[in-house]
Structure 1
Amino acid sequence: MQHFDTAPFLRHGLVSALLCCAIALALTVSGQGAWDVQLAYSLGIGLVSWLVIDLGRAWLTRASHAAWPPGWRGLLLVAGGISAGYVLGSLIGKAYSGSAQYLPHQQGTVWPLAITIAAGGGVSFFFYSQGRARHLQARMAQTQRDAAEARLQLLQAQLEPHMLFNTLATLRVLVSTDPARAHTMLDHLIAYLRATLGASRAVLHPLAEEFDRLRDYLELMAVRMGPRLTYQLDLPDALRTVPVPALLLQPLLENAIRHGLEPQLAGGHIAVQARTVSGATGPCLQLQVDDTGVGLSAGAPGTAHGFGLTQVRERLATLYGAQSALELIAASAGGVSARVTFPLKSGPPA
């Protein structure tokens, strides 16, 4: 059911009252009678018409999202509002002026009736055009939000199998070379999939859940790499409930391990941290993945433009637009820092 919006209702009333004042002034200047009497008639006719049409419009569209009753209902509503305004407003003016005449105009009823029809029809069409424009804008905005959400879900659906296939490929090797480690890795994979696939498919989730999934993934990789992989996760308590895109950082971890640590015989260390920074439009959340691997120059071709990074960039652009950024920074001592920044929104995800 559509919610009654008070602001447009009052705005329509104000516009109607101003138009009535202008009509009363024009009639007074043209010698049709005293200003206060013309104003009483004009306001009576105009405001009664406005109330009947606007309240009738709200009642007729209460069960839909339409801005105006469709077809003959809309035309009948305008005709009824103008008729009610003409009759009741004239009675109000007559009561104010104390005149025995139904209307104060010397030309009889044709001229004031024509003014009422023209003004009422013109104002109704103006309000109809405004309402329709707002309705179309709201529909377009909703369509864009639905499309963005569908795109984000598609991107997330692409990321999950990507990680799964990489893990299964590793398991295939370990089954023949190290069955014990393969068994341990399979246990971690089952726990990871249970936590990931059992969670809601919401576009956003709390940052604490993102870090939990990162820990699960790093434990999987630690089985494969053994002592060649060490890691540290740094999540301040104040940021645990901040909503972030699901599986946002996992592609960055995959890049750090595959292109940074694995080509290096000694392996290396990965550190993931979250912090707040100042942005151009307010506070931002910054998530950073640091590795001590071989670095960008020695990494595999396409490291900075691979599948995972492309997905991260597209998801950030869809959710946050130009307010977000993904940076890859070569560390002076070797390794890479992948840094994601986007506007900070506190509280649980919507």
Structure 2
Amino acid sequence: MKNRLSLYWKCQLAGWSLAALYWGYTGITGGTFNVALGLLQFVTDVAAYSLITHLYRNFALRHGWTDLEINPLLKRIIPAVFVLGFVYLVVTAAKIFLFRLWFQTGPVQSFPLFIELNGVAIFIAGIRLMSIWLLAYHLYHYAQREVRSTREKARLEITTRDARLNNLSAQLNPHLLFNSLNTIKALVIDEPESARRAIDLLSDLLRTGLYTGDDVLISVKDELTLVMDYLELEKLRFEERLTYQVQMDDSLTSVRILRLSIQTLVENAIKHGISTRKEGGCVRIQLSEEAGFLTITVQNPGRLDARIPITGLGIANLKERLQLTFNDRANLHLLNEPEGIVSAIVRIPIT
């Protein structure tokens, strides 16, 4: 026993104390009542029955009964109830008979006669009490096992999710890096000044966005800093063919979003929209808040062909990361808008 009683012992003492008090109450209301005998009965009841059930607990733990499923457990505890009921009969009958010897002044009936008259009632009472105790004990352990199983399952799911998110993020970093290097490659011979500026921008991209940590969520402000560097880098390649706009409320700068989410949409807009048109076009980024959700919209000139599935790494990656992070509370849609505009829309809960 520790200095502080465990939950098990608190329940043991409380349960058997309530039972002993009930028996004492029936004795008081049933006629003559001896206070000394009542106290002795109370103490011995709590001690004896706590010992019986505690011995059963040790036996069950030693043989792994608390880890069994319902059916194999029932095959063991049903016989155990009868064994405990018999032990209860022996202990209770012996205790009552001894107390009568000590406290009764007149003749005392023999022990065999006492068992014959009272044995069945005591045995049935023992069966009932031990059934209640075993049911409560094993139901508690079954509930605890389910809680542990649920926690372990949740822990494994979180670990798996985090591993998948880290893997997806690791895919994006070199993806963005290689695209940026291709831009520099296109500039280095014909426009060395622009290439040098592109290298500076790539350095900023690496420093501010790609390798600043493993955080899944970053602020809108940090994400847009990365996006603006990327857009300026692409502007060096496309020159007047690329323009861009950002529209949002300043109150949204601290909202946390998936790292490289806007960047992925912008990259997709340039790859499938701007680069495929001789005249280029404008990339528009809009952020708005409504009913606790942040809507990110990136628009570019072009047209979606419903017959051709979108299989690019960036969009597929972003969809999976949204699902892993927000479950069904976030979504990503690509839509054809009027006047030859394609919209990529992400909607996420504001946390």
Structure 1 CA distance for aligned equivalents of residues 188 and 341 of structure 2:
31
Is residue 285 of structure 1 aligned with residue 300 of structure 2?
no
Instruction: Quote the residue 1:221 is aligned against.
Output: 234
Alpha carbons 1:284, 1:344 under 8 Å: kept: yes
Q: Per-residue displacement from partner, 1:183-242 (whole Å, max 9, x unpaired)?
A: 110110011101124422111112221111111211111121122212122232322222
Instruction: Quote the residue 1:295 is aligned against.
Output: 303
Alpha carbons 1:185, 1:224 under 8 Å: kept: no
Structure 1 CA distance for aligned equivalents of residues 230 and 164 of structure 2:
24
Is residue 331 of structure 1 aligned with residue 337 of structure 2?
yes
Structure 2 CA distance for aligned equivalents of residues 273 and 73 of structure 1:
65
Instruction: Quote the residue 2:139 is aligned against.
Output: 126
Instruction: Quote the residue 1:158 is aligned against.
Output: 171
* TM-score computed with the length of structure 2 as normaliser: 0.66
Deviation (angstroms), 1:41: 6.2
Instruction: Quote the residue 1:79 is aligned against.
Output: none
Instruction: Quote the residue 1:340 is aligned against.
Output: 346
Alpha carbons 2:205, 2:229 under 8 Å: kept: yes
Deviation (angstroms), 1:120: 3.1
One-letter identity of the residue aligned with 1:164:
L
Range that drifts further, 180-189 or 207-216:
207-216
One-letter identity of the residue aligned with 2:176:
M
SS in 2 for 1:162: helix
1:163 to 1:32, Cα distance in 2 relative to 1, 3 A: same
Aligned residues: 280
Alpha carbons 2:209, 2:223 under 8 Å: kept: no
Deviation (angstroms), 1:310: 0.8
1:225 to 1:214, Cα distance in 2 relative to 1, 3 A: same
Alpha carbons 1:236, 1:275 under 8 Å: kept: yes
Instruction: Quote the residue 2:320 is aligned against.
Output: 314
Q: Per-residue displacement from partner, 1:309-328 (whole Å, max 9, x unpaired)?
A: 11111111112222221111
Alpha carbons 2:186, 2:237 under 8 Å: kept: no
Instruction: Quote the residue 1:3 is aligned against.
Output: none
SS in 2 for 1:177: coil
SS in 1 for 2:261: coil
Is residue 237 of structure 1 aligned with residue 250 of structure 2?
yes
1:230 to 1:325, Cα distance in 2 relative to 1, 3 A: same
User: Cα RMSD (Å) of the superposition?
Assistant: 4.4
Deviation (angstroms), 1:335: 2.1
Structure 2 CA distance for aligned equivalents of residues 336 and 197 of structure 1:
27
SS in 2 for 1:138: helix
SS in 1 for 2:338: coil
Matches within 5 A, 1:257-296: 257-278=270-291, 283-291=292-300, 293-296=301-304
One-letter identity of the residue aligned with 1:120:
W
Deviation (angstroms), 1:116: 5.4
SS in 1 for 2:188: helix
Structure index of larger Rg: 2
Matches within 5 A, 1:1-350: 45=46, 72=62, 107=118, 111=123, 117-278=130-291, 283-291=292-300, 293-297=301-305, 302=309, 304-345=310-351
Structure 2 CA distance for aligned equivalents of residues 237 and 41 of structure 1:
73
Larger relative helix fraction? 2
Structure 2 CA distance for aligned equivalents of residues 114 and 32 of structure 1:
21
1:248 to 1:41, Cα distance in 2 relative to 1, 3 A: farther
Q: Per-residue displacement from partner, 1:88-107 (whole Å, max 9, x unpaired)?
A: xx9xxxxxxxxx98xxx995
Alpha carbons 1:272, 1:290 under 8 Å: kept: yes
In structure 2, runs of 5+ residues without a counterpart are 1-6, 66-83, 93-101, 104-114
Structure 1 CA distance for aligned equivalents of residues 225 and 347 of structure 2:
20
One-letter identity of the residue aligned with 2:317:
Q
Alpha carbons 2:183, 2:234 under 8 Å: kept: no
One-letter identity of the residue aligned with 1:285:
L
Deviation (angstroms), 1:173: 2.2
* TM-score computed with the length of structure 1 as normaliser: 0.66
One-letter identity of the residue aligned with 2:297:
Q
Instruction: Quote the residue 1:65 is aligned against.
Output: none
One-letter identity of the residue aligned with 2:151:
A
Instruction: Quote the residue 1:61 is aligned against.
Output: none
